[in-house]
Chains A and B, each alone.
Chain A
Amino acid sequence: MRCSEWWLQHSPFRGSQTREASLVGMVPTKVKKERVYMSDVEFIGTTKIYDDGTVALDSLDLTIREGEFLVLLGPSGCGKSTALRLLAGLEDITRGEIRIGGSRVNDLPPGARGLGMVFQSYALYPHMTVRANLAFGLRRGRGDARVDAREISTRVEEAAEMLDLHKWLDKKPRELSGGQQQRVAIGRALVRRPKVLLMDEPLSNLDAKLRNRMRFELRRLHEAHGTTTLYVTHDQVEAMTLADRVAILSEGKLQQSSKPLEAYHRPANSFVASFLGTPAMNLIEGAAKAGVFTAGELSFALPEHLAGRDGPGIFGIRPEDVRIIDSGDSSVVNDGGDGSVVNDGGGGGGNSGDVLCRVGGVEHLGSDTVYHLEAGGSWIRALRRRSADRPQGTDGEPGGEIRVNLAVPAALIFED
Chain B
Amino acid sequence: MRGVAHDSSGRAAGKPTLAERWYVPAEISVLRVWLPFAVVVNVLILGGEALRGNVWGMSGTLSAVVLLNLLCMGLPDGAGRWRRTTSQIFATVALMHGVLFPSWRDVSLYDLWAVSWLIIPAGLSLYWLSTGLSGAWCAGASDARAAELGLARNRRLAPKLEAFGLHVFLLHAVALVVAPVIWIFDVSISPGNILGGAIFDAFTLEHFRAVLGGEAFWLWTRNSLVVAFGTTLVGLLLAIPAGYAFSRYQFAGRKGAMFVFMLIQMFPGIIILVPYFMVMKTLGLLNTSIGLIVAYSVTALPLCVWMLKGFFDAVPRALEEAALLDGCNRVEVFFFVVLPLSLPAVAITALFSFLTAWNEFLLALVFNTSNDAYTLPVGLASMIPATNQLWGDFAAASIVVSIPVVILFVLFQRSLIQGMSSGAVKG
Residues of A within 8 A of B (CB): 33, 35-39, 66-67, 92, 99, 101-109, 112-114, 143, 195, 225-227
**A99 contacts across to B, CB distance below 8 A:** 10
**A195 contacts across to B, CB distance below 8 A:** 3
A102 to B18, CA, bound (A): 11
Residues of B within 8 A of A (CB): 1-11, 17-19, 21-22, 148, 151-152, 154-155
**Do the beta carbons of B1 and A104 come within 8 Å of each other?**
no
Query: Assuming A66-B3, A108-B22, is B8 touching A36 (CB within 8 A)?
Result: yes
Per DSSP, chain A at the interface is loop
Query: Assuming A36-B10, A92-B155, A108-B151, is B5 touching A103 (CB within 8 A)?
Result: no
**A227 contacts across to B, CB distance below 8 A:** 1
**CB proximity of A281 to chain B, nearest CB, Å:** 37
Query: Assuming A226-B1, A227-B1, is B19 touching A103 (CB within 8 A)?
Result: yes
**B7 contacts across to A, CB distance below 8 A:** 36, 102
Query: Assuming A101-B10, A103-B10, is B5 touching A108 (CB within 8 A)?
Result: no
> Residue of B at shortest CB range from A225?
B1
> Residue of A at shortest CB range from B149?
A107
**Do the beta carbons of B148 and A107 come within 8 Å of each other?**
yes
> Residue of B at shortest CB range from A109?
B22
**A226 contacts across to B, CB distance below 8 A:** 1
A36-B8, A36-B10, A112-B19 given; 10 more Cβ-contact pairs under 8 Å: A38-B6, A99-B10, A102-B6, A102-B10, A103-B10, A104-B10, A107-B19, A107-B154, A195-B3, A225-B1
**A114 contacts across to B, CB distance below 8 A:** 18
**CB proximity of B160 to chain A, nearest CB, Å:** 13
**CB proximity of A127 to chain B, nearest CB, Å:** 18
**B148 contacts across to A, CB distance below 8 A:** 104, 107
**B19 contacts across to A, CB distance below 8 A:** 103-104, 107-108, 112
> Residue of B at shortest CB range from A67?
B1
**B8 contacts across to A, CB distance below 8 A:** 33, 36, 102
**B9 contacts across to A, CB distance below 8 A:** 102-103
A97 to B353, CA, bound (A): 59
A344 to B101, CA, bound (A): 106
A33 to B18, CA, bound (A): 22
**B151 contacts across to A, CB distance below 8 A:** 107-109
**CB proximity of A329 to chain B, nearest CB, Å:** 57
**B3 contacts across to A, CB distance below 8 A:** 37-39, 66, 101, 195
A195 to B1, CA, bound (A): 10
**Of B6, B10, B17, B152, which one neighbours A107 at CB under 8 angstroms?**
B152
Q: State the 3 A-B residue pairs at the shortest beta-carbon distance, nearest first.
A: A103-B10, A38-B3, A107-B151
**CB proximity of A159 to chain B, nearest CB, Å:** 16
**Of B1, B6, B21, B154, which one neighbours A101 at CB under 8 angstroms?**
B6
A101 to B18, CA, bound (A): 11
A226 to B3, CA, bound (A): 11
A38 to B17, CA, bound (A): 12
**Do the beta carbons of A38 and B4 come within 8 Å of each other?**
yes
Sampled A-B contacts (29; CB under 8 Å):
A35-B5, A36-B6, A36-B8, A36-B10, A37-B2, A38-B3, A38-B5, A38-B6, A39-B3, A66-B3, A101-B10, A102-B6, A102-B8, A102-B9, A102-B10, A103-B6, A103-B10, A104-B10, A104-B19, A107-B148, A107-B155, A108-B18, A108-B19, A109-B22, A109-B151, A114-B18, A143-B21, A195-B3, A227-B1
**CB proximity of A162 to chain B, nearest CB, Å:** 14
**CB proximity of A407 to chain B, nearest CB, Å:** 47
**CB proximity of A229 to chain B, nearest CB, Å:** 12
A195 to B18, CA, bound (A): 13
**CB proximity of A261 to chain B, nearest CB, Å:** 25
**Of A66, A109, A225, which one neighbours B2 at CB under 8 angstroms?**
A66
**A143 contacts across to B, CB distance below 8 A:** 21-22
**CB proximity of A184 to chain B, nearest CB, Å:** 23
**CB proximity of B79 to chain A, nearest CB, Å:** 16
A109 to B29, CA, bound (A): 13
A66 to B7, CA, bound (A): 15
> Residue of A at shortest CB range from B144?
A103
**A36 contacts across to B, CB distance below 8 A:** 5-8, 10
**CB proximity of A34 to chain B, nearest CB, Å:** 8
**CB proximity of B101 to chain A, nearest CB, Å:** 39
A395 to B176, CA, bound (A): 84
**CB proximity of A157 to chain B, nearest CB, Å:** 20
A39 to B2, CA, bound (A): 8
**B152 contacts across to A, CB distance below 8 A:** 106-107
A38 to B3, CA, bound (A): 5
A67 to B17, CA, bound (A): 22
**CB proximity of A91 to chain B, nearest CB, Å:** 11
**CB proximity of B371 to chain A, nearest CB, Å:** 57
**Do the beta carbons of A112 and B18 come within 8 Å of each other?**
yes
> Residue of A at shortest CB range from B153?
A107
**A67 contacts across to B, CB distance below 8 A:** 1-2
Query: Assuming A36-B8, A92-B155, is B17 touching A103 (CB within 8 A)?
Result: yes
> Considering residues A67, A112, A226, which has the most beta carbons from chain B within 10 angstroms of its beta carbon?
A112
A124 to B18, CA, bound (A): 27
**CB proximity of B377 to chain A, nearest CB, Å:** 43
